[in-house]
Copies of this chain bind each other. A is one copy, B any other.
Amino acid sequence: MRLRSLRERELVAAIRRDFRRPARGVRLGIGDDAAVIDPGRDGLLLTTDLLIEDVHFTTAIQPAYLLGRKSLNVNVSDIAAMGGRPRFALLGLGLRPGLPREWVEGFFSGFKAAAGDSGVALIGGDISGSKKICISVTLVGNAERSVRRSGARPGDLLFVSGDLGQAAAGLKLLKRGLRLGRNPQADTLIKAFLDPVPRVLLGRELARKRLASAMIDTSDGLSVDLLHLCEESRCGVEVDLPALPISPELRSFENKPEACALHGGEDYQLLFAVPPGRVSEVLRLRKKHGLSQIGKFRRGRGIFLVDGGGKQRPLESRGFEHLA
């Protein structure tokens, strides 16, 4: 997309041209009072996220292109956490005066790339002025069968995909002034923060094969997201500290990698419960999707950390401070 100015009319026309490609299920896209989509047969999933400049992101540390990608992908991750397939997006965008044209072009270029990755069609939105950049994405997905937060039962095993704490460590490095391209190990962490990859295929496979009894994505950090799973499922959980997936990169940059893995947010991995009878099947997917078995649900309430020697202590849920 190339823009001559940031006037609303022109911007909308450019977006409309750029995102015109017809998509399955879209009867009417950008440019009317509302978009029209086919209902289809499957249940419809709907999620929305609000990203506000200097609360959830800053232009100083997040390139526009990657922010465009991430704005969509954090919503794609919510659909993945339900076991769904992302389909249609609406984008509300508040742009502040003086924002360079290149920033807006970069943002849309990233948004479009992420939409292409996930097979998402942009079908509508709203653009206006704002004091701080404000990004609101609503995403519609489909799922024949969706996985909720509330289905975990005592005895179910706890699994997580990928490595924990990567994004939080990456954000710390960015705040200390490090940027992409200086150190390959640091890049792994920084990329985890700037350009998280939602786990759509994993979520869909778990839902389709009925392998997960409950699921959530790790956006607020393991300790908080686990609390959500436990509260909704009305049970407790024991987390096996030595089993936490901590990468060599996290160990080399963090003094307390375990704390970072437990409380660092924005990894956008999937955290899910597996009934004992389905564990062997999930273990067969371990390599393909990079899964770790990190604990077990139990009766009662509370999250307990079990160390290598079998000692237990309660784990406090700490809200992850995204930027502040």
Residues of chain A whose beta carbon lies under 8 Å from any beta carbon of chain B: 27-28, 31-50, 52, 54-56, 78-79, 81-82, 84, 88, 90-94, 123-132, 134, 136, 138-141, 143, 146, 148-150, 215-217, 232
Contacts and interface: CB of A to CB of B under 8 A. Distances in A.
A56 to B, nearest CB: 7
A216 to B, nearest CB: 6
Contacts of A129: 52, 55
B32 A37 contact: no
Contacts of A88: 46
Contact of A43 (B39, B43, B93): B39
A125 B48 contact: yes
Contacts of A35: 45-47
A237 B301 CA distance: 67
Given A31-B232, A32-B148, A48-B91, 7 more contacts: A34-B79, A36-B146, A46-B140, A50-B136, A55-B129, A130-B134, A131-B132
Contact of A94 (B33, B44, B134): B134
A47 B88 CA distance: 12
Nearest to A51: B128
B82 A36 contact: yes
A100 B40 CA distance: 44
Contact of A39 (B44, B130, B139): B44
Contact of A124 (B46, B81, B93, B134): B46
Given A82-B33, A216-B33, A128 B52 contact: yes
Q: Which 8 A-B pairs have the closest CB atoms?
A: A50-B92, A136-B136, A39-B39, A34-B47, A33-B81, A34-B45, A138-B138, A33-B78
Given A49-B126, A131-B131, A138-B138, A37 B33 contact: no
A225 to B, nearest CB: 10
B94 A130 contact: no
Contacts of A56: 128
B33 A136 contact: no
Contacts of A84: 34
A36 B46 CA distance: 6
B52 A130 contact: yes
A275 B165 CA distance: 62
B48 A90 contact: yes
